[in-house]
Structure 1
């Protein structure tokens, strides 16, 4: 077993999930038997090459396999073996990590376990657990199309499965999943992708039973289909990497344990366990591939144009390959045919407009050119003011150019905008898995998932949302018994929403858990030395302390949280997107986290201010107000510096000309303009000479030489051709 952090993280995750299943299992019932078997098989695969770990796991897998074979529920002996193995795994894996002797599992017989009967997965393993091979050069275009199509299908599968988890009898969602697996199976078989073809075939057979009302989908079945979908995603990523680098995959992704779990579940209602059907034979080469078997009830195909495939390699009817551009891009826009099972009508939600896949580099290049055009247009307008009278032909032509440029700018920005739905979908899946790991009952809901953001913002916001959802599930929500004792519903509620607010997008995470106790945070912050023991902080400033690196109020470290990492990542990533985060919480009632983000990363809505001969731009998201202060509101506090009294609030006063060491016209604050800025719960006053205008400007990178300059986020070219620095309020306040 390679000693990589990823491998140990996968082991820890699988052990925690197996521990959850063992806690929920009871003698005389078979709930959790199939997930436990699947997880034990996954752990066996991960522990290949470490006999001390593999032998007890193989013994457990054989015992679970025997129980499934005979359709027996958990016995006392089997449950004892499962729980003792789970307790032993933690210290055993830690011993392997530290090159220490592995403790012996109490009551285990390593030799017998190692030499005992192997699980029934051996035959399937020989056929399905193989390294994926395919002809990159000959089928490059087909593989590009296949990769792009499967990415869309996997996204639809996850959304529909999560909907089925809430509405098991939703026929539209079930048909959508079946069609997606059927298409993946057919296309993977045509291209000779054996593991994908085999796994998709078994899941399709399982779904076909559900479609024909011979099997009712349960939470256990949906979990296994989700795990199969994750394996298909990993295999699809291998295809993408191979196309990008021109090299075939070197790592085998095991799928046999998933195939066996799916076969175990594919038992028609009221029937005895059926004999395992042989896995479909591997397809040798794409050209010589036979058409995959078509189910008795033919699925409704997605409407698509005739496939553009070379005549030398005809595509079987059951394996259509949609014609999409061969650009190596996963997705620059939401899939046009994404299922919407939540509203109970997936087909009607399909967009009627046609879509084209475009390489993101081309979009970035277009945005750069449009940005330059906007700058030149501003310069032309500035120049014509002194040359033409109102109503002259030149004035009319420049006004027309301005309208066209603005429309082009908005169109180019819209090309980069994608819905946040795929990110919300991932959070929904994460919440489902965390609820099982934390053994909590949770109702996770979303709204506003059709809200569109800049592609860069959507990519960067995923990681902060993961940490916030984990925090809400582990820290925020109480266990069911604690909620009932407090007079709350047994099921906790977590709601994720997105909506427009002015020129910003707000992403809001709301839970009805125990809330954030400011006194507890303050005490913990003093213990860790984050703040002084006698520090006077507002409620907002205390809440902001949870974003300090290494800060955690968890009583114990779990696989989900408690190590003091995560929330500092949230703050750092959001600030990198020029956004801010706000917290509102009430003890015993829950918490609300609001992330405010700009619509796009290419253009900023800013307030242009002047200091001496220089001009600066402040993001309007950080500006609360601007005013000319009265002389009596300004005072100096010994050891602290200048402060300003704003309607009873004492704010620190910072002089922008001193920050950049430049001359200023207004030496006295009451002769200049004070701009009130706020960031991360901290409010300060910034002294400038004059407020010039409020306008949209195109952000320009200052280059490597000035990269990371404290207080500066970038630059912009103004209408007169001069350059203005875009200020970063967070680093200005921190440096001050």
Structure 2
């Protein structure tokens, strides 16, 4: 049989390298629904491919990928989206061979399917931009090289794949440059920073007895609902105060106000739950990032995840993505050793990285653990002295040495690579986590590995707080930081030279801080035994805080104080109380740190 002309296949594949033709006038609603479905399917494809990378014979994962590509192909064909339809069709044909056991899924095949999935994601992002701005795509996303590579794999000709898979001039998917996977893995959602794109992706799920039905809701509507519910909670608190002054307990007015309080609380929790989304997509991105970086670094990694169904506020999930990219990158680059180094140290050549999420009280904890070389506090201290970050005679604890890795410009890397060594990663981690009112803790053992633990609030909109009074002013302490409140005995208060006032509590000596001195305001209680001492915990340290009176415990809606008071130490925000007055929400960590 005569061979086909060499130019024919290339011309045939190049026919798919065209701009997306979107008839926005007629297909606006259809494209909106297609985009939302495609985002879900692309996420499922990536998750299933990462499973197949570990267990290539997993039939459920294979069938899931096949169904997703089949759906994208069909819908793209109906809408006339030529590049998406053609590429999805070729990948579907390749997967069909694997389903029929005519082809074994190798790492090379999985990598090529991942690249195809990334190209489809770029095309899907173009649709999101077009839906938002009304402009048709002006940038060509080529897919011919991917189609050619997939066909070669389907024919069992993987040897010729390397030059065809990702030519240097191709701006699509994942080129072989090591920086690309990092950029790809950073966002949790497609990188369209617009309300319209987010609106298509956000989901408010309503579970029914018939099954898990979902309704897609614009995120702006959810934010608006949360604001209105917050105002309702404030008015409800004001009504309680008013009713208390004019009505007796048990009166019809009091009963009605109590009923309103119950309904408002239920509505508030429901509105909060609508904003909660699972952290699974973010964890999936980290798993993909780990796979790509491990190949670039020449390391063998077993990436484990647990607790991926844990739900957080949408804002928290979006903000935590970038810090997690830096942490995973650090774990693979600085933490895990090369296979031969691990074997020489008596370890298995395949390193383990475990990413987990779980609830702890009213907080969410995200933990990243590796069994690598660990963090040497002496090495960190020496490097910090070299860079002039600390003085050579500074006596730092192990924990304080660990904290130095978050200093801007600090890096222990011997040389700068495409993904690390410039010292611009971990300071981003700390800054973003603090912006979320969270904190990060590090434990490590040289030669055994490290654990990074991020503690975050479940929601950014509402805080459960203890209202305290100092003089004529009221303040709110987060309930998660408060251990107990008490009126101390006179003999429990002493003054230690060089330290200041301390409180003896159950055999422990706690530093005592007077809140009125911190803010320079008059107080009723000039002596600790005349006031109330609140025991607060911050970053593992326990302190005592002197106030005049403990007023109440209530949930309050956090209000931004604006740029003028944004960076005020000790203050996290403001809230409107039931009497209409404003109270400052305190941040115990920065408050007591600055007081000390």
Give the conservation status (yes or no) of the 8 Å contact 1:333–1:417.
Answer: no
Query: After the TM superposition, which residues 194-209 of structure 1 pair with which residues of structure 2 at under 5 Å, given as runs?
Result: 194-209=82-97
Query: 2:199 — aligned with what?
Result: 329
Give the conservation status (yes or no) of the 8 Å contact 1:631–1:670.
Answer: no
Aligned-partner Cα distance in 1 for 2:370–2:159: 44
Query: 1:584 — aligned with what?
Result: 443
Deviations for 1:62-97, whole angstroms, at most 9, x for unmatched residues?
Answer: xxxxxxx9xxxxxxxxxxxxxxxxxxxxxxxxxxxx
Give the conservation status (yes or no) of the 8 Å contact 2:531–2:547.
Answer: yes
1:614 to 473, 478, 491: 473
C-alpha displacement at 1:626, in angstroms? Answer: 5.1
1:145 to 33, 37, 59: 33
C-alpha displacement at 1:124, in angstroms? Answer: 4.7
Q: 1:655 to 1:376 in 2, by over 3 A?
A: same
Q: 1:334 to 1:241 in 2, by over 3 A?
A: same
Q: 1:141 to 1:443 in 2, by over 3 A?
A: same
Deviations for 1:214-261, whole angstroms, at most 9, x for unmatched residues?
Answer: 101011100110111111101100110011011111111222222222
Q: 1:633 to 1:479 in 2, by over 3 A?
A: farther
Query: 2:559 — aligned with what?
Result: 700
Count of aligned positions? 554
Q: 1:385 to 1:645 in 2, by over 3 A?
A: closer
C-alpha displacement at 1:590, in angstroms? Answer: 1.4
More displaced, 122-131 or 169-178? 122-131
Q: 1:400 to 1:708 in 2, by over 3 A?
A: same
Give the conservation status (yes or no) of the 8 Å contact 2:494–2:502.
Answer: yes
Aligned-partner Cα distance in 2 for 1:225–1:351: 34
Query: 2:293 — aligned with what?
Result: 434
Q: Residue 369 of structure 2: SS of its match in structure 1?
A: strand
More displaced, 590-599 or 677-686? 677-686
Give the conservation status (yes or no) of the 8 Å contact 1:673–1:687.
Answer: yes
Which consecutive unaligned segments of at least 5 residues does structure 1 have?
A: 1-68, 70-116, 275-325, 338-349
Deviations for 1:305-357, whole angstroms, at most 9, x for unmatched residues?
Answer: xxxxxxxxxxxxxxxxxxxxx996242238899xxxxxxxxxxxx99121110
1:132 to 6, 9, 20: 20
Q: 1:662 to 1:408 in 2, by over 3 A?
A: same
Query: 1:575 — aligned with what?
Result: 434
Query: 2:108 — aligned with what?
Result: 220
Aligned-partner Cα distance in 2 for 1:599–1:174: 35
2:132 to 219, 233, 244: 244
C-alpha displacement at 1:466, in angstroms? Answer: 0.8
Give the conservation status (yes or no) of the 8 Å contact 1:518–1:543.
Answer: yes
Please identify which structure carries the higher strand content.
Answer: 2
Aligned-partner Cα distance in 1 for 2:125–2:539: 38
Question: Is 2:495 the partner of 1:634?
Answer: yes
Query: 1:603 — aligned with what?
Result: 462
Q: 1:272 to 1:157 in 2, by over 3 A?
A: closer
Higher alpha-carbon Rg = 1
Aligned-partner Cα distance in 2 for 1:328–1:508: 27
Q: 1:534 to 1:607 in 2, by over 3 A?
A: farther
Query: 1:453 — aligned with what?
Result: 312
Give the conservation status (yes or no) of the 8 Å contact 2:234–2:578.
Answer: yes
Give the conservation status (yes or no) of the 8 Å contact 2:414–2:421.
Answer: yes
Give the conservation status (yes or no) of the 8 Å contact 1:655–1:688.
Answer: yes
C-alpha displacement at 1:445, in angstroms? Answer: 0.8
Give the conservation status (yes or no) of the 8 Å contact 2:516–2:522.
Answer: yes
Q: Residue 220 of structure 1: SS of its match in structure 2?
A: helix
Aligned-partner Cα distance in 1 for 2:423–2:251: 65
Aligned-partner Cα distance in 2 for 1:503–1:262: 48
Aligned-partner Cα distance in 2 for 1:383–1:560: 60
Give the conservation status (yes or no) of the 8 Å contact 1:131–1:252.
Answer: yes
Deviations for 1:106-128, whole angstroms, at most 9, x for unmatched residues?
Answer: xxxxxxxxxxx999974256312
Q: 1:619 to 1:461 in 2, by over 3 A?
A: same
Query: After the TM superposition, which residues 54-453 of structure 1 pair with which residues of structure 2 at under 5 Å, given as runs?
Result: 122-124=10-12, 126-267=14-155, 329-333=199-203, 352-453=211-312
Give the conservation status (yes or no) of the 8 Å contact 2:342–2:349.
Answer: yes
Aligned-partner Cα distance in 2 for 1:559–1:272: 28
Aligned-partner Cα distance in 1 for 2:159–2:254: 84
Q: 1:631 to 1:650 in 2, by over 3 A?
A: closer
C-alpha displacement at 1:642, in angstroms? Answer: 3.7
Aligned-partner Cα distance in 1 for 2:201–2:220: 12
Query: After the TM superposition, which residues 581-730 of structure 1 pair with which residues of structure 2 at under 5 Å, given as runs?
Result: 581-623=440-482, 628=488, 633-637=494-498, 642=500, 644=502, 654-668=513-527, 671-675=530-534, 677=536, 679=538, 686-703=545-562, 706-730=565-589
Which consecutive unaligned segments of at least 5 residues does structure 2 have?
A: 162-195
Q: 1:435 to 1:397 in 2, by over 3 A?
A: same
Q: 1:676 to 1:483 in 2, by over 3 A?
A: farther
Aligned-partner Cα distance in 1 for 2:206–2:574: 37
Query: 1:296 — aligned with what?
Result: none
Give the conservation status (yes or no) of the 8 Å contact 2:70–2:92.
Answer: yes
Superposition CA RMSD, Å: 3.1
C-alpha displacement at 1:467, in angstroms? Answer: 0.9
Aligned-partner Cα distance in 2 for 1:553–1:687: 43
